[in-house]
Structure 1
Amino acid sequence: MAVASSLYLWRRLWGTAILSAALILLLPEKGRAEPGVPVPPNNLLSDRGAGALAAADRDFVIKVRLAGLWEIPAGEMAQDKSADPRIKEIGRNIAAQHVVLDKLTRDAAQKLGIVLPDAPNSDQQGWLGEMREADGTQFDEIYIDRLRAAHGKIFPAIATIRASTRNDTVRKLAQRANQFVMTHMTLLESSGIVDFGSLPTAPPPSAAAGQPSATAQVLSAPEQRPSSGTNTPLVLLALAGGLAAGAFATRQLAGNRRQTHRSRRGRYYDG
């Protein structure tokens, strides 16, 4: 009876270990939790106006101000001219968020001595004019198209400033602006009417002095192979656990067999 029980235990432990390892190998996403997308810790950035201020930095601050000068009234128009509740909500959210971003921009400009415009530029005024003449679905298409195109243009400019500026106030404003722009692009695309086919395509990678680009180097490196998604440490841990469980069960089984053998010998000699 004891031997049969030990065999049953041994099979269960080994079976569980093997099943766990198989699940990790075949379904790696089940063996690990995907980490959450981090939020930039803006409080770790200084904002003292310290560092050299380049012409590109000044131009960036002015462009962020200009974005708010036309996107706020555009969002307000969406409340009156659109018949789509989703477009109304998108316009309301973007306008409200630009009010916050505009305050951050004006504070940065005051600290850095940058003179900001008080009216949209000629292109932006033209876009607002198009929206004033449209209603319903026509307004929706113009609103989404113009804002998505504008955000697509300023998005790479923000990345350039964030990565290259020497001024800490501009750096912090760029990081904050990046978060706003990413949110706005996502909101605009949630409308379902963005014409992605009409968006400008990314320029082809270029090679300097006959050398392959960084992207090409990464793609051609032999060691950079697509990962299967398997979490190797978890697999090794599961296999080690299985081996340990098997060794334990084997020792238990051997001990039970020796005890049974001794009991039988005792009964034999006692008889």
Structure 2
Amino acid sequence: MRFTHTCATAAAVAALALSGAAPAFAAASPAANPDAAFLQAIHQSNLAEIAAGKDAHAHAKSTCVKQVGDVLVRDHTTLDAKGATLAKSKSITLPKEPNADQQKSLSALKPKNGTTAYDTAWLKVQSTGHQQALTLIDKELKSGKDAQIQAAAKAARPVVAAHLKMVEGGVCHAPMPSGTPSATPQR
């Protein structure tokens, strides 16, 4: 997914907590198994979100964006680990890195490192991505066939929705100590 699709996938991955530790497993055909395709897409999203969060921590100008980045790293790492365990139990091979579009989206931020323009662009990418992730999760919840994968998506949904609230509309809402967004927007 692009960063927006990455967020969607990351959100879904976050929901599924995929870790990417499944390279030795048999590959599942995405066309033949939409549930497997969901796990794979969510895993790539999680990987992209983890990378984006680390990048924000290192290159954002505002404390709020750095804090949101830290929450993304924490939550998507947890979701990805759970997702990877689930994928392994189902012999689903997971990609080892974010897709090319996701990597390109993160690279596009580099020239803005350390500026308010970086923060604004990062927040917009995260907002769109988390909206897309929720769409991906909702599709799995509506039409998925595997009860365990659907349960993972259901568990991930509130995490992704909370992330969206932190970045919605390209405005930063600092997370509270509990990890929920504050009502006070920041840039």
Judge same fold: TM > 0.5, yes or no: yes
Is 1:85 the equivalent of 2:25?
A: no
1:128 aligns with 2:103: no
Matches of 1:88 and 1:190 in 2, distance apart?
17
In the TM superposition, residue 189 of structure 1 has moved relative to its aligned partner by 2.4
In structure 2, what residue type is equivalent to 1:121?
Answer: N
1:74-113 equivalent positions in 2, closer than 5 A = 74-113=52-91
Secondary structure in 2 matching 1:119: coil
Tell me how far apart the structure 2 counterparts of residues 57 and 108 of structure 1 sit (CA, whole Å): 11
Aligned ranges for residues 21-170 of structure 1 at < 5 Å? 55-135=33-113, 136-170=115-149
Question: Could you tell me the TM-score, scaled by structure 2's length?
Answer: 0.70
| Residue pair 2:53, 2:70 contacting (<8 A) in 1 also | yes
**What amino acid is aligned across from residue 175 of structure 1 in structure 2?**
K
* 1:172 and 2:151 are equivalent in the alignment: yes
Deviations 1:56-115 (A, max 9, x none): 211110111011111111111111211211111111111110000101110110111110
Question: Which residues of 2 match residues 190-229 of structure 1 at below 5 A?
Answer: 192=171
How many Å apart are 1:133 and its aligned residue?
A: 2.3
Which of the two has greater strand per residue? 2
Structure 2: how far apart are the matches of 1:191 and 1:127?
A: 16
Unaligned runs of 5+ in 2: 1-29, 174-187
Pick the aligned partner of 1:183 from 159, 162, 172. Answer: 162
Cα distance in 2 between the residues matched to 1:89 and 1:190: 17
Any idea what SS the aligned residue of 2:171 has? Answer: coil
Between stretches 183-192 and 55-64, larger displacement belongs to: 183-192
Give the count of matched residue pairs: 142
Higher-Rg structure is: 1
AA of the residue aligned to 1:149: T
TM-score by length of 1: 0.49
- Measure, in 1, the Cα distance between the counterparts of 2:90 and 2:171: 40
Mark the runs of 5 or more structure 1 residues left unpaired by the alignment.
1-52, 195-271
1:154 deviates by 2.1
